[in-house]
Each structure stands twice: as structure tokens, then as C-alpha cells.
Amino acid sequence: MNLFPAKYFFDSLGLMVFLSIFSIEFAKAQLVDNSIPAPTNINQNQCPCIMPDNSVVFQVKAPNAQKMQIDLGKKYDMVKDSNGVWSVRTETIVPGFHYYFLVIDDVSVADPASQSFYGTGKMASAIDIPEKGADFYEVKDVPHGAVSSKYYFSKVTNNWRRLFVYTPPGYDLNTNEKYPVIYIQHGGGEDETGWANQGKTDIILDNLISESKAKPTIVVIADGNVRAGGGGYSSEGMAAFKKEMTQNIVPFIDENYRTLTEAKNRAICGLSMGGGQSFYVGLESLDFFGSVGIFSSGIFGGIRTSGSGFDAEKEIPGLLSKPAEFNKKSICFTFPRRAGYAY
């Protein structure tokens, strides 16, 4: 999942007014020869269009605009033809999910031609580039589970908060069966919608379970944006979220779902910021979590503001010096390496 920052965003009313001023017409952006529509398009007969080499063609009709760009982390200048249609073809884009913005006269807005997601600290457009030969995240003719939105009251933040819960196929029929639980956390700039929408958690789990590559499991997707009062990637910085997870979220799930409540049947994992949360919350709460997964987290990259690098033993006393004690409690501790991260 690729995160690209953007500076500006118009609310829906402002965007409609802005587009009306510039007479933008997206219905004219028809598919380009030899291309396929992006799965994230609003209209599947229009651009953005993915070319065979994974470059992308964007087209927008805006005859009164003076300047038009596509911001995919890198900005691409669009060119206007005699009919007022702006277009550009990007470089080859790696497969995966990419946030982007339409930049009109130096103002970044969500592109009405694509679906929008909360993913850069604001609503943003996104384009999903399919990976050839990979279909684990595609809807198939298999039994399907369900994702539900739930509200619970947080005694940490003193307000109502939302989370999403995936229940596996057969959950509503097998009423005597209890299930293990995975708590999966989003990255920075995202919220509880990330893994449910961008991450396609339900589709992936449906497919894995149908292929016997995963056991039927409940997955909880919570909002990790809990103010900690400073501290960043540290035990202090994660203290508020640790309290939120162990005192509010886990008890709420165990009370309202048929869960296996032993630590060995409960896991926590996450991406980027969520990986840091999983590291501290999971390893400091082994009575709650028997497995911890850390995906592409910056905590191992020596990027902390102190400049002193990352000292795992200092952060989690005994993690390295007393591994046998941790091994007795922790079933699995994983941190997959990602290109560009120095572990």
C-alpha cells in the first residue's frame, strides 16, 4: 500500500463549485485503445486507463483551466488539446494501491473520476494497479464472510469510536463455534476504513479460508488514531493506544463475539504506524496477544528523532536478553522486510 502526501483538499461543496467554474467534464474521458479501466474508476468505461506496461493515462475535459497535473507522489503535467481535454501518460507504475490527486491551477483535489478513500490524512483519490498473476484479493465464487461496522464507547478518549469486524463464512450458522481473533492496525494518515476498504480484508480472508490457507478467524480493524501526548515510536508514545486496545477494544470484542479468549488465540499486527503500535502493544501485553506481526514499520530504520537508532532491548526489556521467557508466552513474532527499509 503506497502512501503519497498531498497539501490541499476541497470539501464536497467546494469541489462541486470549483468544478462547475472550470466546466470539467469527465464523461468525455473515454478508454484509450489497448488499455483497461482501473478497478477504482467510478465509471468503468472511462479513464484513468491502465496500459499494458502499467503506465496510466489520465484525461480530463476542462477548457477553462490554465494548468492541470496529476500528483502520484511525482507530479505529471497534463497537456490540453484543441477540444479542451487535458491528458497525460505516466511512467510505469508498480502494481498496487496508490493515492493520487488531481491538481487544478495548483490546487489539489480528489478526482471525481475515481473512488475516494481516507488515506493521506484526508480524502484522496486512488488507483489500483492489478498485479499480473495475483488474484488473492479478487472476489471469487467462494463462501463469503461479512464486514460490519460497530460503535463502542472509549473510556480512554471519552467518546464513541468505530471499528470494523470481519466474521468468517458460516459465523452466523455455526453458533456454537468460537474463533481466534486478529487485530490489524492501519498506517499513518489512515483510519479504521483502511484495511476494510483499501486493504480488502474480507476478500483476502474469504479466499484464504476457502483454500485452507487460513483458519476461519475474526478480524478486528480499529482506529489507531488515539492521541498519546507525544513520545512517537516509544512505549510512552503508544501508552494511550495500548490502554485503548486492552481496556476497551479487546473486552468489547470478547463480549460481543464468540471468541477464543486465550492469548494464544489472539494476534495483533499492523502496517507502518500500525506496525509500531503492534510492536509495543503486543510485546508489552503478552497476556493478551500470543502473536505479533510488524509490517514495514519505521521503528527498525533508525529514524527516531533522538538519532540514536532503535534499541529493542531498551524498548522492551528482556526481549533480547531473556528470549526464553518471551518464547514461553509469544507464539509468533514476525517483521517482514520491505524494500527501502533498513532492518
Same domain, 125 and 161: no
pTM: 0.83
Say if residues 269 and 292 touch (Cβ distance below 8 Å).
yes
Which tens digit of pLDDT belongs to each residue from 117-138? 999 899 999 999 999 999 999 9
pLDDT(44) > 80: yes
* The last residue of a domain, from among 99, 129, 159: 129
Phi, psi of 329 (to 5 degrees): -100, -40
Same domain, 40 and 80: yes
Determine, yes or no, domain membership for 25. Answer: yes
Number of domains in the chain: 2
Same domain, 220 and 311: yes
Same domain, 98 and 218: no
CATH assignment at residue 100: 2.60.40.10
Which tens digit of pLDDT belongs to each residue from 214-245? 999 999 999 999 976 556 677 788 899 999 99
* The last residue of a domain, from among 67, 100, 129: 129
Q: What is the pLDDT of residue 338?
A: 44
Determine, yes or no, domain membership for 45. Answer: yes
**Is-cis flag, bond preceding 48, omega within 30?**
yes
Phi, psi of 277 (to 5 degrees): -60, -40
Per-residue H/E/C for 15-38:
HHHHHHHHCCECCCCECCCCCEEC
As a whole number of angstroms, the longest Cα–Cα distance in the chain is: 72
The DSSP 8-state label assigned to residue 246 in this structure reads I
Say if residues 263 and 289 touch (Cβ distance below 8 Å).
yes
Same domain, 164 and 307: yes
Determine, yes or no, domain membership for 137. Answer: no
* The last residue of a domain, from among 129, 155, 189: 129
Percent of the chain at pLDDT > 90 equals 68
Q: What is the pLDDT of residue 309?
A: 66
Provide the mean pLDDT of the chain: 85
Say if residues 261 and 238 touch (Cβ distance below 8 Å).
no
Same domain, 184 and 232: yes
Residue-wise burial string across 125-145, b where 16 or more C-beta atoms lie within 10 A, e elsewhere: bbbbbbeeeeeebeeeeeebb
Average pLDDT over residues 67-82: 96
66 three-class SS: coil
Of residues 256, 257, 317, 310, the one with CA closest to residue 286: 317
Same domain, 96 and 174: no
Same domain, 84 and 181: no
Which tens digit of pLDDT belongs to each residue from 298-337? 776 544 444 556 777 777 777 777 777 777 766 676 655 4
Determine, yes or no, domain membership for 173. Answer: yes
Determine, yes or no, domain membership for 4. Answer: no
Same domain, 155 and 299: yes
Least confident segment among 28-37, 58-67, 323-332: 323-332
pLDDT band at 8 (very low <50, low <70, confident <90, very high): very low
| Residue with the larger pLDDT of the pair 282 and 316 | 282
| Residue with the larger pLDDT of the pair 4 and 326 | 326
Determine, yes or no, domain membership for 135. Answer: no
Determine, yes or no, domain membership for 106. Answer: yes
pLDDT(56) > 60: yes
pLDDT(151) > 60: yes
Determine, yes or no, domain membership for 6. Answer: no
pLDDT band at 29 (very low <50, low <70, confident <90, very high): low
Q: What is the pLDDT of residue 17?
A: 39
Same domain, 308 and 235: yes
Domain residues for the domain of 54 are 12-129
Strands (DSSP E) contained in 27-78 are 36-37, 49-50, 56-61, 68-71, 75-77
Q: What is the pLDDT of residue 304?
A: 44
Same domain, 40 and 164: no
Same domain, 113 and 222: no
181-185 β-sheet, strand order = 146-154, 159-167, 218-222, 181-185, 266-271, 291-295, 332-334
Q: What is the pLDDT of residue 58?
A: 96
Average pLDDT over residues 78-88: 94
